[in-house]
Amino acid sequence: MTKITTYHADQIGGNVVVIETAHSRIAIDFGENLPGSEHEPIEIEGLSRGTPCFDGVFFTHYHGDHVGRMHRILPNVPLYLGSIAKKILLNIHQTLDHQNMAALLHGETLHELQDGVSVTVTHDIRVTPYRVDHSAYEAFMFLIETDDTTILHTGDFRGHGHSMQNKAGDPLTTIRERICQNGQRKIDTLIIEGTMLSRMNERIFTEQELQSWATIFFKKRRHIFLLCSSTNLDTLASFYHAAKANRIKMFANHYVVSQLKTFSETAGVEDDFYRFSTVWPIQFGKELNKNGFRGTQEDYMRKFGFLCIIKEREGYEVWLKKFQDCNPVLLYSMWEGYLDPKRSAYNPQLAAFCHKYHAVCKHTSGHATAELIADIITEVNPTKQIIPIHTENAEMLKKLPISEALKAKIVVPSIQNGHTGYML
Ligand SMILES: [Zn+2]
């Protein structure tokens, strides 16, 4: 008998899924709640407190709402994380001097996952990661096989990033050909993320559309400050290539420069679209003598323009003010919900910053559209049940264009004490 327990499935972020058999127990993800959450930070007996009784924790990708509480996991519980995700997280935690996280990531309990390579956790649980498109690079879906059942956990995914270009990250193709092996493998339970089910009216741009838009926009505006996540590789690459097409250089603080270097050395090896060959660390007073130009970095930026990645902090306002005479534009490329006072994730500081500098908002979502969620459910066609997680509107799943037979398999978690159990 296999049992699934979902934790905090009724919110976006901070979800944990526990799968247990008669002999073994694993968890998938162990992250922080996003701001505005009504749940307490997650604690699980035998995983983050008490006597350890877990055989492994598998992380779908490096976003904080999926890995953020890794440091709370009891010692000696094996951790499984993608090899690129490990490097990205190491860069973050070494920069922030989080020594416990850095030690954990370097530690013997951390095992690196490779696309398509199965991990036999115990004699009755096997987990296979499959790469899929998401706003975090190297995100995984997990196929979990036990003695008596087969489960697919989608993690966070979408179908409109750059990895769709070569089909490498296409969730539908991956499920059809690699996971379900063109109908030869049946999935009993589908655990699927439903972030966009509460954001149905948002217009979705593809990363390619974002890049095309920016390429045209940068022809008119050459002095650009960009608010964007420093781990959103696809969006960073979209803007980088748009700037490059307009002969505009990218600038950032030392941390972002080192993160882009890490991406260039990992993702950039897999696909040279992700190679950031020239990103300059901000050193306004630095003397430059390049291609006939002599002067400071600030003079250079003033003369030729710039794409400069910033945060909404006071220190960066000095940068914005420094270039006021160039009429710089502030681009905001994160979820607009952070700027909306009606949303629980509202960020007043960020909203005030964007308002003050009349930010232009242009963002590509990291999550699957409702149409794609419906297509995935139909493609997987699970034999037993469909469990929505990572959503504030699980009921919406029943209104998607899927068959009545599939609708009958949807089990909306009834949240009691933050978790729901399913016997299989
Ligand atoms: Zn994510």
Find tokens 């036999």 and name the residue: 120
CATH number at residue 68: 3.60.15.10
Asked whether residue 356 falls in the same domain as residue 382, the answer is no
* Same domain? 419 vs 334: no
Based on the fold, state whether residues 40 and 89 are members of the same structural domain.
yes
pLDDT score of 415: 63
ipTM of the complex: 0.97
Same domain membership, residue 258 and residue 216: yes
Q: Rounded to whole angstroms, how far apart are CA atoms 117 and 58?
A: 13
CA of 103 to the centre of ligand 1 (A): 23
Backbone angles phi, psi at 423, to 5 degrees: -90, 140
CA 61 to centroid of ligand 1, rounded, Å: 7
Contact 116, 178 (CB under 8 A): yes
Q: How far is the CA of 126 from the centre of ligand 1 (A)?
A: 23
DSSP code, position 416: B
pLDDT of residue 418: 61
Strand ranges, E, within 282-350? 287-290, 293-296, 306-310, 329-332
Distance 391 CA to ligand 1 centre (A): 12
CA–CA dist 148, 114 (Å, integer) = 25
Centroid of ligand 1 to alpha carbon of 135 (angstroms): 7
Alpha carbons 260 and 254: distance in angstroms, whole number: 10
For the CA atoms of 142, 146, 151, 153, the dihedral, rounded to the nearest 10 degrees, stands at -30
For residue 394, how far is its CA from the centre of ligand 1 (angstroms)?
18
**Pair (170, 24) in one structural domain:** yes
Nearest to 319 by CA among 301, 294, 304, 336: 301
Domain boundary among 341, 361, 381: 361
330 and 406 inside one domain: no
pLDDT score of 221? 96
For ligand 1, the distance from its centroid to the CA atom of residue 62, given in whole angstroms, is 7
Do 36 and 145 belong together in one domain?
A: yes
Which of 344, 361, 378 is a domain's end point?
361
What pLDDT, on the 0 to 100 scale, is given for residue 168? Answer: 82
Q: How far is the CA of 66 from the centre of ligand 1 (A)?
A: 7
Q: Name the DSSP class of 174.
A: I
pLDDT tens-digit series, residues 234-279 = 999 999 999 999 999 999 999 999 999 999 999 999 999 999 998 9
Q: Are residues 279 and 376 in the same domain?
A: no
- 134 CA distance to ligand 1 middle (Å): 7
Confidence (pLDDT) at 56: 97
| CA 1 / ligand 1 centre spacing (Å) | 30
Q: Are residues 252 and 390 in the same domain?
A: no
C-alpha–C-alpha distance, residues 68 and 175, integer Å? 28
pLDDT at 218: 97
Domain span at residue 301 reads 207-361
Say how many residues make up the chain.
424
Distance 118 CA to ligand 1 centre (A): 22
Q: Distance, CA 120 to ligand 1 centroid (Å)?
A: 25
CB count within 10 Å of CB 271 equals 14
CA of 133 to the centre of ligand 1 (A): 10
Q: Is 53 in the same domain as 178? A: yes
Q: How far is the CA of 60 from the centre of ligand 1 (A)?
A: 8
Q: pLDDT of the chain along its 424 residues, tens only? A: 899 999 998 888 899 999 999 999 999 999 999 888 888 899 999 999 999 999 999 999 999 999 999 999 999 999 999 999 999 999 999 888 888 888 889 999 999 999 999 999 999 999 999 999 999 999 999 999 999 999 999 999 999 999 888 778 999 999 999 999 999 999 999 999 999 888 887 788 999 999 999 999 999 999 999 999 999 999 999 999 999 999 999 999 999 999 999 999 999 999 999 999 989 999 999 999 988 899 999 999 999 999 999 998 878 999 999 999 999 999 999 998 899 999 888 999 999 999 999 999 999 999 999 999 999 999 999 999 999 999 988 888 999 999 999 999 999 877 655 667 666 5
367 CA from centroid of ligand 1 (Å): 8
Q: Residue 390 C-alpha to ligand 1 middle, in angstroms? A: 10
| Gap from CA of 108 to ligand 1 centroid (Å) | 26
Say if residue 273 is in the same domain as residue 296. Answer: yes
pLDDT of res. 424: 58
End-to-end CA distance of the chain: 6
CA of 297 to the centre of ligand 1 (A): 36
> Last residue of some domain: 343, 361, 379?
361
Question: Distance, CA 11 to ligand 1 centroid (Å)?
Answer: 13
Measured in degrees and rounded to the nearest 5, phi and psi for residue 259 equal: -65, -40
**Which pair of tokens denotes residue 316?**
């960066």
The Å distance, Cα 67 to ligand 1 centre, comes to: 10
Say how many domains are in the chain: 2
Instruction: State residue 422's pLDDT score.
Output: 66
**Residue 247: is it exposed, middle or buried by C-beta count within 10 angstroms (0-12/13-18/19+)?**
exposed
**Distance between CA atoms of 144 and 128, rounded to whole angstroms?**
7
Strands 306-310 and 223-227: parallel
Instruction: In whole angstroms, give the CA distance from residue 65 to residue 14.
Output: 5
The residue among 96, 29, 91, 36 whose CA lies nearest residue 63 is: 29
Please check whether residues 350 and 216 belong to one and the same domain. Answer: yes
Residues in a beta bridge with 312: none
